[in-house]
A and B are shown apart, each in its own frame.
Chain A
Amino acid sequence: MEFLVASAIGVLTASGLYLVLRLRTFPVIMGTSLLTYAVNVFLFASGRLTVGAPPILTDAERYTDPLPQALVLTAIVISFGMTAVVVMIALGAYLGDDDDHVDDAAEGEDAR
């Protein structure tokens, strides 16, 4: 199972990175979303993987590490805020300029 999670993090990172390197705003936003998943899962996994031991106090003997969960929970919500702001900025640029390139037009080879 550890391998599955590690490879999932890797795939999410790789796809996210590739999309972040694209030239239009929308794929870049998709890419940052994928990277957000990757980072959240990465942080979550730093509490190690435990099946069937949620950190809800009962008579159980063991619980999974609650701290990464608390950190990731707020990270998920904040990432929504971040995505929304970036989308708004991208939208504003596109509506104002009719251009959804992420790179400055000053750049040589890739700009229109």
Chain B
Amino acid sequence: MSLFLIVALPFLGAMLPGLMNSAGRQACAGVTFTVTLLALIGLLTNLPAVLAGEIVTARVSWMPGLGLDVTFWLDGLGFFFAALILGIGLLIIAYARHYLAREDHMGEFFTYLLLFQGAMVGIVLSDNVLLLLIFWELTSLSSFLLIGYWKHLPEGRQGARMALAVTGMGGLAMIGGMLILGQIAGSYDLSVILENRDAIQASPLYHPALVLILLGCFTKSAQFPFHFWLPHAMAAPTPVSAYLHSATMVKAGIFLLARLWPVLSGTPEWFVLVTGAGLITMVLGATIALFKHDLKALLAFSTVSHLGLITMLLGTGTAFGAMAAVFHILNHATFKAALFMSAGIIDHGVHTRDIRRLGGLRRLMPVTFVIATLAALSMAGIPFLNGFLSKEMMLEEAAHTTLFDLPWLVPALAVLGSLFSAAYCFRFVGHVFFGPVRDDYPGHPHDPGPGLWGPPALLVVLVVLIGVMPFLAEPFVKLVTAAVLGPAAEVPEAHLAIWHGVTPALYMSIVAVGGGFLAFAAHGPAQRLWDRTPRPEAKTLFDGVIAGIVGLARRTVAPLHDGAFSRYAAIFAVTVVAVGAHAGLTGASAAPSRAMQTPGVVQVAGWAMLVAAAGALVFLHRNRLLSLILIGIVGLMVTAGFVLFSAPDLAMTQLTVEVVTIILLLLALNFLPNRTPIESSAFRRARDGIIAVAGGLATMALSWHYLLRDTVAPSISEFHLANSYKGGGGTNVVNVILVDFRGFDTYGEIIVLSIAALLIFALTESLLAGPVRARLLNRLPDQPRAGGTHPMLMVIVTRVIMPVVMLVGFFVFLRGHNEPGGGFIAGLIVSIGFVMQYMASGFAWTSARLKYPYHGVIGAGVLTAGLTGIGSWFFGAPFLTSAFTYVRIPPFDEFELATAALFDLGVFLAVVGAVMLSLESFSRLARRQHGPEDDYPMGIDPSRDDLPRTTEIGA
């Protein structure tokens, strides 16, 4: 099966249980199981190739420019982890089906589980590191959902949040580290990175990359000092804990350490950081685990400890260490999943996980007793169980490892960790299953049905099988080890065996198990001592740190971001001017290369009007109507400027937009106060004035500078000028750029415009639905209204002129491709024609004659433009490729037919719809204000016998 499908299956399947929730629990679990089974079978079909030493790959180029390809590869290591994830996943699903209570939302649970599973499979199969990072983040997010699955429990929510904060932070560091690695290797493909060991280790960026990647791995795999999140994550339902702690999540960090082992390991820094963190974690986790009363907490800290063990082994940088790590990953996954499931069974039957309230269960739950005991003894490192084998290999490796020039340090700590590890395992078995049967269990201890004990039993069979016949696992372990080592080292000769002769490891093992038993025997007094010792509580520290960060952010943001818009605007303006001034004063620039053009009298007069109007606006802006007139002058002068400087299209657009903008502002001003009161202090006005003048001088200097110089690099406009007619079939280059060369941009722009119009419509709707409506209805005009709101002269003129406007619009639209004009301008012109009808004849009269709602016009426009673009797909061309031809129908001249015209039609419709919908929305506000008398199309109508009226103030 293709690797794409293996990764995609869990994601695609994730939708099913959520949708099938009403079909029942069996259906949800069944479909989840089937999806996982299919993915596992798909994985197994690739087994022969992997066994033959091939690397299975699947690749699709996505964004080659960014080095982001969807590439998957499958080698021994990837296969190993994917098989663990899917295989244990199957058991977890079967177990969860029987574990979850009737009131738990089954579909939601399995959806999260599949999402998580897919993300994990994605991590272990990704070849491209950027893709891997995406899956990495996905595991953080989906595990957040899983850990917090019981939303009603505060521990669940807090645990989930802590897990997300810690692993998410590590994920950020990981992104940095991976990007650095990719930079050094020159490729984001893992397969390439793995071959660049020397280049990476010689690079000055090796250290930052190493630290960042280790941060990611250590947070994910709960290594000291980030170990604290994992025990809190056990607030999750037990199947989730079993999954997260055994085969997934925490193994993701280990996986990456193993995956990058060939390029990162072997340096002193790697050795000290990884081995050191691993050792500390191992000893610390094991010690804390011994003193936990909650079964799941004990197991959670044992996971922390065993992860430390694996990390330590990978840190040594020897081939033997890597092999021991691989073997222990396998063994740990089997016995730890079985142990968590057993803890769940006990919780299920006895209704408590507190070791102090348990005991004597071996008689009441014999099946669970056998399963849990075998798994726990394996974890303790008792011979003939798989945990013993890998623990011996670990001790063997530790015996040959020297840290800080102290040959005894690593072996001593390894023995200490193993000792505590054995002790908590003995406690798990002894205090739960042995001892007298009690009569105060909260529940009724009993063995569950095979649905619950079946999955862990299967795992325990593996535990024993590997423990007794390790040679069965040996070829596979060596295959995976070879994949870990890559080209960096040879697979060691050593064999997996129970008896290696009398070695230091044997003595160490004996000391650990014996000492563990003694520690277990002395547990009572030790616990009392432990309880009296003050210890830092990780959660309190974590919450403190988070609170500190939040406080710091608040103190930083509050003064800058205090809700005063004018302050942001001022800060922004000053910053931009300061940065620009710095660049302008320190940067180098060429000498002026363009000659100044001499202005004529008319040009100077236009300039003077513009400057005068803009300047007057500053002083007269309190009179709002006057300021509208002034801004109209500015707009007209800008339009004239466009005419002068060879931009007829711009001039036409500016002129028409000017009209609709002023109408819009007039409509708004209808409701707003007529005057702006004086509020700012003189100081403040002076300050704003200085900022404004500085900003003005800066932009002036910048434009003055570049207007006198030619462009540094040749503009791409030459291409447009040369190809406008040849390729686009039009002589108006601006229009051809809009509808052809950059048609996709234009498509986006009409969509933005349409969204703006719809937004205005939605705001109006919500305003009119709320209390504002009553206020509008009761609102009195603040000035006398003119009589005859619809003057007859205007009504008649606008109606007569309407066909002419339409004709002009049509003409401007048609000529657009070759002469100034086009969809934008035509749309604006036609809109003005419509608006005139509204103004002259009133809202009701015009609306009654409206056949199509403006939303529909907008939609038709965007659709027309989009379908025109899609149309080119049917000719095998990319989106929005245009075609044109010339036809001649007698008696007309030859004329051109272009698909670009169809696109332009879409632009036209969208512009008309958007402009009209905005203005209509504003008018609807005004309409509420007046009474129904305005609905007559003419203020004075000879056919009506009522007299013209004047609305008095307060009438």
Contacts and interface: CB of A to CB of B under 8 A. Distances in A.
A111 to B, nearest CB: 8
A84 B618 contact: no
Interface in A39-57: 40-42, 44-57
Contact of A11 (B614, B641, B725, B753): B614
19 contacts: A1-B599, A6-B707, A9-B703, A11-B615, A13-B696, A15-B614, A15-B617, A17-B688, A20-B569, A44-B647, A48-B707, A70-B734, A72-B650, A73-B734, A73-B738, A77-B911, A90-B668, A94-B672, A106-B562
Contact of B668 (A28, A45, A91): A91
Contacts of A38: 699
A21 B692 contact: yes
A40 B691 CA distance: 21
B565 A102 contact: yes
Interface stretch (B76-84, B454-462, B770-778): B770-778
Interface string B662-681: 00110011011100110110
B738 A74 contact: yes
A73 to B, nearest CB: 5
Interface in A79-110: 79-85, 87-92, 94-96, 100, 102-104, 106-107, 110
A37 B613 CA distance: 13
Interface in B811-856: 818-820, 824, 828
B764 A88 contact: yes
Interface in B627-663: 627, 631, 634-635, 638, 641-642, 644-650, 653-654, 657, 660-661
Interface string A1-24: 111111111111111111111111
Contact of A76 (B650, B689, B720): B650
A4 to B, nearest CB: 4
B824 A73 contact: yes
B564 A5 contact: no
Contacts of B738: 70, 73-74
Most chain-A CB neighbours within 10 Å: which of B645, B653, B691? B645
B371 interface: no
Contacts of A15: 614-615, 617-618, 692, 696
Nearest to B679: A23
B382 to A, nearest CB: 67
A93 to B, nearest CB: 10
Contacts of A6: 700-701, 703-704, 707
Contacts of B696: 10-15, 17
B665 A64 contact: no
Contacts of A2: 594, 596-597, 704, 707-708
A21 B734 contact: no
Contacts of B497: none
Contact of B597 (A49, A65, A69): A49
B504 interface: no
B604 to A, nearest CB: 7
Contacts of A65: 715, 717
How many chain A residues sit at the interface, stated as a range, is 35 or more
A46 B615 CA distance: 24
Contacts of A9: 699-700, 703
Nearest to A18: B692
| Nearest 5 A/B pairs, CB to CB | A14-B696, A10-B700, A104-B563, A81-B756, A6-B704
A91 B671 CA distance: 8
Nearest to B725: A57
A48 B705 CA distance: 11
Interface residues of B, number: 119
Contacts of A88: 759-760, 763-764, 918, 921-922
A5 B737 CA distance: 25
A51 B669 contact: no
Interface stretch (B60-68, B432-440, B744-752): B744-752
B645 A50 contact: yes
B770 A96 contact: yes
B733 interface: yes
Interface of B: 562-567, 569-570, 573, 594, 596-599, 603-604, 607, 610-611, 614-615, 617-618, 621, 624, 627, 631, 634-635, 638, 641-642, 644-650, 653-654, 657, 660-661, 664-665, 668-669, 671-673, 676-677, 679-680, 684, 688-689, 691-693, 695-704, 706-708, 710-711, 715-717, 720-721, 724-725, 731-734, 737-738, 742, 745-746, 749, 752-753, 756-757, 759-760, 763-764, 767, 770-772, 775-776, 818-820, 824, 828, 911, 914-915, 918, 921-922, 925
A85 B754 CA distance: 11
A79 B731 CA distance: 27
Contacts of A4: 599, 603-604, 607
B704 A23 contact: no
A12 B614 CA distance: 6
A38 to B, nearest CB: 7
Given A58-B731, A81-B753, A87 B664 contact: yes
B742 A70 contact: yes
B614 A26 contact: no
Given A81-B752, A81-B918, A42 B699 contact: yes
Given A21-B566, A30-B627, A52-B646, A11 B610 contact: yes
Looking at B603, B665, B696, B915, which has the most chain A CB atoms within 10 Å of its CB?
Answer: B696
A12 B603 CA distance: 17
B566 A103 contact: yes
A96 B165 CA distance: 40
Contacts of A40: 638
Given A6-B704, A51-B597, A85 B697 contact: no
A11 B756 CA distance: 29
Nearest to A54: B646
Nearest to A96: B772
Contact of A46 (B679, B706, B742): B706
A108 to B, nearest CB: 8
A19 B2 CA distance: 62
Given A34-B614, A70-B742, A84-B757, A55 B734 contact: yes
B609 to A, nearest CB: 10
B707 A57 contact: no
A80 B915 contact: yes
B567 A107 contact: yes
B768 to A, nearest CB: 10
A63 B721 contact: yes
Contacts of A53: 646
A74 B828 CA distance: 12
A57 to B, nearest CB: 4
A10 B707 CA distance: 13
Nearest to A53: B646
Contacts of B721: 55, 57, 63, 66
B562 A107 contact: yes
A57 B720 CA distance: 11
Contact of A42 (B684, B703, B711, B742): B703
Nearest to B645: A49
B460 to A, nearest CB: 64
A104 B564 contact: yes
A12 B698 CA distance: 12
Contacts of B711: 48
Contact of B752 (A17, A21, A78): A78
A25 B596 contact: no
Nearest to A52: B646
Contacts of B614: 11-12, 15, 34
B625 to A, nearest CB: 11
B695 A14 contact: yes
B679 A100 contact: no
Contacts of A63: 646, 721, 733
A101 to B, nearest CB: 9
A41 B120 CA distance: 53
A67 B764 contact: no
B672 to A, nearest CB: 6
Contacts of B734: 55, 66, 69-70, 73
Contacts of B569: 20-21
Contact of B733 (A66, A87, A106): A66
